[in-house]
Structure 1
Amino acid sequence: MRSVSLSSLVALAAALSLSACATTAPIGAPGAAAEPATPPAPAAASPQELVAKVDIPFEKFVLPNGLTTIVHTDRKAPVVGVTLYYKVGSKNEPRGKTGFAHLYEHLFFGGSANVPNFDIPLEGAGSTPTNGSTWYDRTNYVETVPTGALDLALFMESDRMGALLPAVTQDKLDKQRGVVQNEKRQGDNQPYGLTDYAVSEGLFPVGHPYRHSTIGSMADLDAASLGDVRTWFADHYGPNNVVLVLSGDIDAATARPKVEKWFGAISRGPEVAPVAAAPVTLAAPVSREMADQVPVMRLSRSWSGPGLNDADAPALRIGMHILGGLASSRLDNALVRGQQLAVAVTVSAQVHEQVSILDATMDVKPGVVRTSAEAAFDKVLADFVAQGPSEDEVRRAVVSMLSGEIDGLERVGGFSGKGATLAEGQVYSGDPTKYKADLQAIAALTPERVRAAVQKWLGRPAYKLAVVPGPRTEDGAQMGGWGDEDATSAPAPDARDTPPKLAPAPKRSAPPVAPVAGLVFPAIERTTLSNGIPVVLARRTAVPKLVLSIDFDAGYAADALDTPGTQGLMLAMLEEGTRTRNATQIAEAQERLGASIDTGATLDTSSVTVSALSANLAPTLALTADLLLHPAFAAPDFDRARGQAQAELAQAQSTPAALAARTLGGELFGNHPYAQPADGLGTAASLAAMTPETLRAAHAKWLRPDLARITVVGDVTMDQLKPLLEQALGDWRAPAAAKPVKPLDTPTPKPAARIVLIDRPNSPQSVILAGRILPLTGRTPGDEPLMLANDVVGNGFLSRLNLDIREDKGWSYGVHSGVSRATGPRVVQVMAPVQADRTGDSIRAIIQDMSALPNRQPVSAEEYQRVTEGAIRALPNQFETNGAVLRAIVSNERLGRPEDYYVRLAQTYRGINATRIGASAAQYLQPGDLTWIVVGDRKMVEPQLQGLGLPIEVRPAPSDTAGTGE
């Protein structure tokens, strides 16, 4: 992907935890609850009926130059998803050119003959997202634009398809090379960050098209030349190698003349030769061990499997889902909840056009003997291969997977919406309706069919990888390439000889953006349950599903009145068992219903969030009420859940961005409730001190109806919803004790400019996280000028920080600033993962860029248009899904904003001029008293920081990890 989204950078800073399926207890396991009085209600709809609801009608036409266009009409919002799939990916790369397809994808955003920068006009027109990605089989580019900006998007996509090369310079190539290499460093710098390289090396021989990584090797990236760029473009980027999908507020009769106008004159390119690639069967099991800076030992078993057009692919997807994807999966039941040998298990089926990569992993519980863990792991796999799944397992896996597919119908564009679904069918299978054939095949699966596929593919020798805690023994910079570098010299570095200039491309002008329809936010209905809980409903009928949240005025800040980590662990325990259901029964009930019930928290709010098929709302609410009102907090379940939380804490302390985020909160807030770790995991000492009684007390104290609010968005009426809520929750009464109140008015320390350097040896990148408390709270009205100022400084791909440090200097894969919207004191933060040798320079650049606004560099006309009119045009795109609408409603309620806040936002933005934006930056976004957290290699980083004139405190990285297997 050519850019990291802003939300992902914020999430990276907040809290990264171990990847695991839900952790619940099996029937008959220690601590299991009694059998339920009544069995879970079955799904109201059969798999076949659910498949019938998944439909994406379309029309298709092909231009004389070979461009295939697919059009899907969806009038629910005035937006069009523009999706282009180029049938070229990393599998097409020859030796010495690994990573080139991805590098070229980055260059594709750098401007063409008639468009200096693709992001500026698209974001100014309201496009969101505007992005691209590369994988083994394809390169894609996506934007979702207001209907009035469709011609602009088509003009720009056609110009970079037909007139890109004259604008590609050596300077652009060098800068994007640096960005991509920092993307590689960022991935390599994570715990277990080298695992994918090792698995590919183990599964495929040298020269296999799926062996080398999509991001490639550092040596090959260094060797890429302008001549390579031109050859790659000419060989792969002709219109006959492209599928264009237009989905949303458009029809084929309107689309065809537009596509002919913008793309019709582009000449065909050469036909791309097919790549020979097939699954590989190992002659015998292969084992490898790697040491890495990880909190717990990770064991994995991997196989290559069939491509997505193979008849076994649907059965394997369901088989792998049963093995480790379901909350009640075989591996979870046996290893996490049953024998309690693992703190997490995961299974993935990475299905590509010609092969798949099948993985099962086990994170070994600290203190468990490795041989015991491996024996149990392999036994579960062997038993599943021999016996196959039960009828109930197949049905639950099918219903849960189909429910997820229905969710995808909410989006017209993006990386996983309806546009991408149609494009992938055409690109990989020559059939846009391939998704429907796959779902029909999944719905028709039997246990025998799944068992046969699992036996065929997982019954072969496995590649066994063990990643054990210790100093990292591998160098990610040397991994990801062709694989014969030890025996064959690497390509010579690019001599930077500039090829002769190309003939200029024909001049074309960008079309204007037609008037863009304003945001139509769903109507809000309100009621109150008999026990006083307020209910808000926004009805939307695009898909037969809904989302519901029950939010409590608690959150991680509530731990200030208890023990750090209490809310997070208490909420996690809600799914570990009730008085009438054990954890496995809870998980299975959700799967039968096609529902998901998730618990979690932010600083301010503790939540139970439900996704449900509308037809199954009544039994889903009954299940939700049981979890919320009758948690068991059984001692064996508590011990297991606490162990998993301790492992998550160790993972967070091993992950640079998560460690920086945990550190910054405490440094800024002192004794304020917001000093609690933002991941909600508490500390090693606080987790060790907890008991089931601690959690029972917190549950009674905080999860009470007089602290609750219910919000629902989706396909249900208030007349249907309220009786069901009354039935499930109406008898719930508040306790006699007064409601707890979080002391959010606690004084905070005075801001002070300083650096806290956390020494993490062998880090190819440094994570920089800076912050300061603002003299504002989330309920302070009139913050829009500040938010627009932050958009100029660091919130977006075109922000000053990102354009400078990523796009101009090439020191980072992405830099971001944000202003929190907590209920209490707000914080401005800057996140910058940068190459280690540029840590000090990056801090210096951040300080210069932030201080330049407004005095040295006022808000430009282009910036002003982007953050105001561009943001206004983008508003209809932001509320395409039920979840997005729900989050907006919940945020408005929490911050005391009117329910029509987003409808009025366009008028608000138009009333703010550039001077007010600059004044807000001058008041709130200056860098003078930021606290800087730097997680990196002290030996390399500290000398760079000493010239910044700031006090430096050096600390070791935490050593209290979860431990290792024996």
Structure 2
Amino acid sequence: MKSFLMLCGAATIALAAAMPAAAQQTSKPVPVAELVKRVDIPYEEFTLKNGLRVIVHTDRKAPIVAVSTWYDVGSKHEPKGKTGFAHLFEHLMFNGSENAPGDFFEPLKQVGATDFNGTTSFDRTNYFETVPRPALDRALFLESDRMGYLLGAIDQAVLDEQRGVVQNEKRQGDNQPYGLVYYKLLEELLGGTAYGHNVIGSMADLDAASLDDVKNWFRSHYGPNNAILVLAGDVDAKTARPLVEKYFGKIAAGPKSVLPTVTVPTLPQSKTVMMKDRVAATMILRSWAVPGLNDPDSVPLDVFGDVLGGLASSRLDNELVRKDKSAVQVSAGIQSMSQLGIFQVQAIVKPGVDANVVAKRLDEIVADLIAKGPTADEVQRVATTAVSSRISGLESVGGFGGKAVALASGELYSGDPAFFKKQLEETAKVTPAQVQAAGKKWLTRPSLTIMVEPGTREAYQEAAAVPAAAKPAEGAAKAEPFKGTRGAMPDVAQIGDLDFPNVERTKLSNGVEIVYANRTAVPVTQMVMSFDAGVVADPANKLGTQNLVLSLLDEGTTTLDSTKIAEARERLGASISTGSSADRTYLGVTAPSPNLGGALDLFADVVRNPAFAPDEIERLRATQLTGIAAELTSPQGLANRALPPLLYGPGNPYVKLAAGGGDPAAVKALTRDDLFAFYRAWIRPDKAKVFVVSDRPLSEVKAALEARFGNWQGTGTAGTKAFTVAPQQVAPRIVLVDRPDSPQSLILAAQMTPLDPASELLVPVTANQALGAGFLARINMELRENKHWSYGARGGYDWLEKAVPYTIAAPVQADRTGDSIKAIQQQVGDFLGAKGITQVELTREINGTTRELAGRFETSGAVLSAMQQNDLRKRPDNFYDTVTQKYRGMTVAQLDAASRAALDPKKFVWVVVGDAAKVKPQLDSLGLPVEVVPAASVAGPSAPAAK
């Protein structure tokens, strides 16, 4: 089941006769070309004397500004022997600069920054944060300081620290199923080009990096003339220019990155590489090197990929998944880089099916599309998808994909900030003939096929632990801090409190409540129908029923089959999604507001008229069983199954969380009657509440819902949740789930707290920001920044409707598993003992949490989520209008008391997923019973017994 967010297509839809007559209110969708005209990001630009290019976009919807700095340096610029340097430097540039010593997340958190991070790709490195408008000076000071005043703050200790973090980031990726495929893909397909090695680099090159190496790398690439600065939000060019001049103008220009010479490589002949891994199903990955995003064939190839395997109604989905039922998952598309791209076709083979047969059918489908070309309707639906995705993403000013990203990437890769719009215009007018010609030109060349089969992963050098010589001496003193020359960071003026959107409530004639908020930044309506069900509603002896029901809902109604539903969504520009949490089951629809009527027609048909067709049941049963098997190969999947029985005990409904995607034996035995029984008991109006965020007025939204759901009535008896057994946590112990050949161990530590989920938990949740929840929290700083044993660790309360457990998750390098548990125990013990929250930590959390609210609720999706959480937790609808005063009234004593009442350092139960042969000796000395269980033992609903 795929979920897409799309805008309007070119046709109306004939819907189920079972729908009420009043619901037949489709409107003609707006043509895609017309939609493209409405997609715009007005901007102004200027260049400083030192070469810094600056782009400014004004968006006054919220008092926030996105600051995005892009450097023309990525892994393609790395010479042999220095792979991973660009990504390593991304990390180093977060560790403070000469005039802003210490971690950059500290001053950003203090001012209420949101969406702050950095990324490295083949083509570039970028840093971004969204800050309240009064904090813009500080953000510019920080960005300019790491651009022009960094090297004095980098010493051997900082280098060793971030080298260790990066190597654990690498291990974390390698440790996943299929985690080694991308190395082989780049080596075989792009070897010999600047794109022929992974962005994260090799362990050997990272180990060999010297302090002089990395400083010279910085001098060569991070000057202002090699950068683009984008400011998007509550700012204009007239205001921005003197600020940028003030903070960046005195930084001297440096060398300009030299664009490597890259030609699209062609293999001498098609090649197949066989790999084995601890995976649940065989994967076929077929790849071609193709032109980069500035090539005239880039857009036609992109459309070819979506027609082939990008849309929910794609050729591969229809033929391999729906018709042949030989694959459980398929995809196709381009990974577009600046100077070349990788066209990929992927299929996850249904267990028991010959992978070679699937590969042959895949070839036939690709060849047929090349020979006959796509239909005009397919191309139109792809264009709709592209425009829709862009419009939806442009609600954000910054982050990973907002307006600042669109402007910066266009300028860096194509010399045009508005390049994104040219791409959309080309997509809207591309013809089937152009798509066919591009496919024929590039995809009839020799291909690389990688087939990954279930088996024992071969040993590989990258899994090795950090050599002893490269490990920093623990406790070694850092060099004397560099004396800054620019003075203190700018102060931040008063930041206003949040004005959360007004929330209104009304009811349909059948009693279903509507909870509504108006947002006008984009012409989109987002709606969630939330049912009082969730994982706890799954039948105890048929775990996995709900998952199968939800996967089937948008795969066939009484009048539309799965393909027709997918096509209808794509033409309308609607997405229909399903999902569940422990306590709630969700059905959602998102659509451009001009197409809301048609989208709700389709949504109502899916909600009210499921077919549960026998053929679809068998197809999706196989998909679900494959997904369950995949969970048993994943560190996170295994841990999530092993923990709940230890935390909740037998008889408590939350122990059903241990089933993950389901109990395989139960899923195999489910009947159509079982599915209808669950649907009738739980997917019904007396269990439902509708949450809506839209640019359309409540009266219009209510009328649209009333026409389609106002006469909906439940059938039979509604389901009930039986919370008759309280959680019964087992005695402290360690359950070690054996996953051989794991370069990392995943640690989960958890305990059931005495907190009342029906009360307001703002105080203990806020206190936990200092212990486990944020980047600067003690657990993360200890394991990541101080010890370098993890890429990141987190801890937090899971605020369920009937219980509040606390869980810590830490993926750590395998040889430090036992030491990491000791470190976690030390941090928790100190925090709950003599080293409770400090005034500095409290001030940081209160400042950051209150100042970030405007950025936190910038998007409609964030508002929609907050509305649901407030309702579930019995908070008033205006909770976030009043929360600032609650935060400001908190004290150190209050937060300490709340944490100590909630947590006991001696009561944690532990689940460790790792290589038992390497890990168990480290655990035996921790003073807790250690139980080793094979991965297969957590497949059923009982998991490790609560002894």
Match of 2:894 among 907, 913, 916: 916
1:267 aligns with 2:252: yes
For residues 595 and 787 of structure 1, the distance between their equivalents in structure 2, rounded to whole angstroms, comes to 36
Tell me by how many angstroms 1:856 deviates.
2.5
1:522 aligns with 2:501: yes
Contact 1:421-1:432 within 8 A present in 2 as well = yes
For residues 51 and 598 of structure 1, the distance between their equivalents in structure 2, rounded to whole angstroms, comes to 25
Aligned to 2:720: 741
For residues 444 and 728 of structure 2, the distance between their equivalents in structure 1, rounded to whole angstroms, comes to 61
Q: CA, structure 1 residues 337+876, in 2 after alignment: closer, same or farther (shift >3 Å)?
A: same
1:465 aligns with 2:450: yes
For residues 820 and 807 of structure 1, the distance between their equivalents in structure 2, rounded to whole angstroms, comes to 25
Which secondary structure state, in structure 2, belongs to the residue aligned with residue 735 of structure 1? Answer: coil
Task: Report sequence identity in percent.
Answer: 46
- 1:534-933 equivalence runs, <5 A: 534-560=513-539, 563-670=542-649, 671-677=651-657, 680-737=660-717, 739-781=718-760, 783-933=761-911
Q: Which residue identity lines up with residue 532 of structure 2 in the other structure?
A: D
For residues 423 and 669 of structure 1, the distance between their equivalents in structure 2, rounded to whole angstroms, comes to 49
Aligned to 1:165: 151
- 1:117-516 equivalence runs, <5 A: 117=102, 118-206=104-192, 208-475=193-460, 477=462, 506-516=485-495
For residues 430 and 702 of structure 1, the distance between their equivalents in structure 2, rounded to whole angstroms, comes to 54
Count of residue pairs the alignment pairs up: 920
Q: CA, structure 1 residues 187+539, in 2 after alignment: closer, same or farther (shift >3 Å)?
A: same
C-alpha offsets along residues 890-943 of structure 1, whole Å, 9 cap, x if unaligned? 111111111011111111111111111111221223321111000000111000
Q: Which residue identity lines up with residue 239 of structure 2 in the other structure?
A: T
Contact 2:642-2:658 within 8 A present in 1 as well = no
Contact 1:568-1:680 within 8 A present in 2 as well = no
For residues 150 and 160 of structure 1, the distance between their equivalents in structure 2, rounded to whole angstroms, comes to 16
Contact 1:751-1:929 within 8 A present in 2 as well = no
Tell me by how many angstroms 1:679 deviates.
7.1
Contact 2:160-2:472 within 8 A present in 1 as well = no
Which secondary structure state, in structure 2, belongs to the residue aligned with residue 825 of structure 1? Answer: coil
Contact 2:284-2:347 within 8 A present in 1 as well = yes
C-alpha offsets along residues 340-385 of structure 1, whole Å, 9 cap, x if unaligned? 0001112231101001111111111111122221211111111112
Q: Which residue identity lines up with residue 84 of structure 1 in the other structure?
A: T
Q: Which residue identity lines up with residue 735 of structure 1 in the other structure?
A: T
Tell me by how many angstroms 1:278 deviates.
2.3
**Stretch deviating more after TM superposition (864-873 or 677-686):** 677-686
C-alpha offsets along residues 249-296 of structure 1, whole Å, 9 cap, x if unaligned? 111111000000000000000122221112111121011000000000
Q: CA, structure 1 residues 182+500, in 2 after alignment: closer, same or farther (shift >3 Å)?
A: closer
For residues 824 and 943 of structure 1, the distance between their equivalents in structure 2, rounded to whole angstroms, comes to 38
For residues 503 and 843 of structure 1, the distance between their equivalents in structure 2, rounded to whole angstroms, comes to 35
Which secondary structure state, in structure 1, belongs to the residue aligned with residue 852 of structure 2? Answer: helix
Contact 1:127-1:145 within 8 A present in 2 as well = yes
C-alpha offsets along residues 126-152 of structure 1, whole Å, 9 cap, x if unaligned? 011221010000000010001111000
Match of 2:919 among 931, 941, 952: 941
C-alpha offsets along residues 363-418 of structure 1, whole Å, 9 cap, x if unaligned? 11111122221211111111112222101101111112211110011100111110
Which secondary structure state, in structure 2, belongs to the residue aligned with residue 439 of structure 1? Answer: helix
For residues 456 and 938 of structure 2, the distance between their equivalents in structure 1, rounded to whole angstroms, comes to 15
For residues 229 and 602 of structure 1, the distance between their equivalents in structure 2, rounded to whole angstroms, comes to 45
For residues 654 and 494 of structure 1, the distance between their equivalents in structure 2, rounded to whole angstroms, comes to 30
For residues 849 and 750 of structure 2, the distance between their equivalents in structure 1, rounded to whole angstroms, comes to 25
Q: Which residue identity lines up with residue 842 of structure 1 in the other structure?
A: S
Aligned to 1:79: 64
For residues 58 and 638 of structure 2, the distance between their equivalents in structure 1, rounded to whole angstroms, comes to 46
For residues 679 and 350 of structure 1, the distance between their equivalents in structure 2, rounded to whole angstroms, comes to 35
Tell me by how many angstroms 1:478 deviates.
7.1
For residues 732 and 445 of structure 2, the distance between their equivalents in structure 1, rounded to whole angstroms, comes to 59
Which secondary structure state, in structure 2, belongs to the residue aligned with residue 130 of structure 1? Answer: strand
C-alpha offsets along residues 598-628 of structure 1, whole Å, 9 cap, x if unaligned? 0111111111111100000001001001011
- What's the RMSD between the two structures over aligned residues? 2.3
Contact 2:529-2:689 within 8 A present in 1 as well = yes
Which secondary structure state, in structure 1, belongs to the residue aligned with residue 754 of structure 2? Answer: strand
Q: Which residue identity lines up with residue 910 of structure 2 in the other structure?
A: W
For residues 478 and 700 of structure 2, the distance between their equivalents in structure 1, rounded to whole angstroms, comes to 69
Contact 1:295-1:961 within 8 A present in 2 as well = no
Q: Which residue identity lines up with residue 853 of structure 2 in the other structure?
A: L
For residues 62 and 837 of structure 1, the distance between their equivalents in structure 2, rounded to whole angstroms, comes to 50
For residues 494 and 936 of structure 1, the distance between their equivalents in structure 2, rounded to whole angstroms, comes to 22
Q: CA, structure 1 residues 893+745, in 2 after alignment: closer, same or farther (shift >3 Å)?
A: farther
Aligned to 1:26: none
Contact 2:763-2:890 within 8 A present in 1 as well = yes
Aligned to 1:28: none
Tell me by how many angstroms 1:865 deviates.
1.3
**Stretch deviating more after TM superposition (882-891 or 922-931):** 922-931
**Stretch deviating more after TM superposition (529-538 or 854-863):** 854-863
Aligned to 2:10: none
For residues 635 and 92 of structure 1, the distance between their equivalents in structure 2, rounded to whole angstroms, comes to 54
For residues 239 and 919 of structure 2, the distance between their equivalents in structure 1, rounded to whole angstroms, comes to 57
Q: CA, structure 1 residues 848+36, in 2 after alignment: closer, same or farther (shift >3 Å)?
A: same
Aligned to 2:39: 54
Tell me by how many angstroms 1:526 deviates.
1.5
Structure 2: 5+ residue stretches without partners: 5-14, 941-947
C-alpha offsets along residues 836-879 of structure 1, whole Å, 9 cap, x if unaligned? 00000000000100111143212222211121121100111111
For residues 591 and 60 of structure 1, the distance between their equivalents in structure 2, rounded to whole angstroms, comes to 36
- Hey, which bits of structure 1, 4+ residues long, moved more than 3 A? 19-22, 33-43, 492-496, 498-505, 959-962
Please report the TM-score for the alignment, with normalisation by the length of structure 2: 0.94
C-alpha offsets along residues 529-557 of structure 1, whole Å, 9 cap, x if unaligned? 01110011101110011110001000111
Which secondary structure state, in structure 2, belongs to the residue aligned with residue 549 of structure 1? Answer: strand
Q: Which residue identity lines up with residue 796 of structure 1 in the other structure?
A: G
Contact 1:413-1:420 within 8 A present in 2 as well = yes
Which secondary structure state, in structure 1, belongs to the residue aligned with residue 785 of structure 2? Answer: helix
For residues 458 and 856 of structure 1, the distance between their equivalents in structure 2, rounded to whole angstroms, comes to 65
Tell me by how many angstroms 1:734 deviates.
2.5
Which secondary structure state, in structure 2, belongs to the residue aligned with residue 776 of structure 1? Answer: coil
Contact 2:153-2:481 within 8 A present in 1 as well = no
Q: Which residue identity lines up with residue 890 of structure 1 in the other structure?
A: Q
Which secondary structure state, in structure 2, belongs to the residue aligned with residue 654 of structure 1? Answer: coil
C-alpha offsets along residues 495-541 of structure 1, whole Å, 9 cap, x if unaligned? 99x99999965232101011112111111122110111001110111
For residues 768 and 386 of structure 1, the distance between their equivalents in structure 2, rounded to whole angstroms, comes to 52
For residues 457 and 42 of structure 1, the distance between their equivalents in structure 2, rounded to whole angstroms, comes to 40
For residues 678 and 139 of structure 1, the distance between their equivalents in structure 2, rounded to whole angstroms, comes to 40
For residues 168 and 240 of structure 1, the distance between their equivalents in structure 2, rounded to whole angstroms, comes to 22
Tell me by how many angstroms 1:740 deviates.
2.3
Contact 2:98-2:482 within 8 A present in 1 as well = no
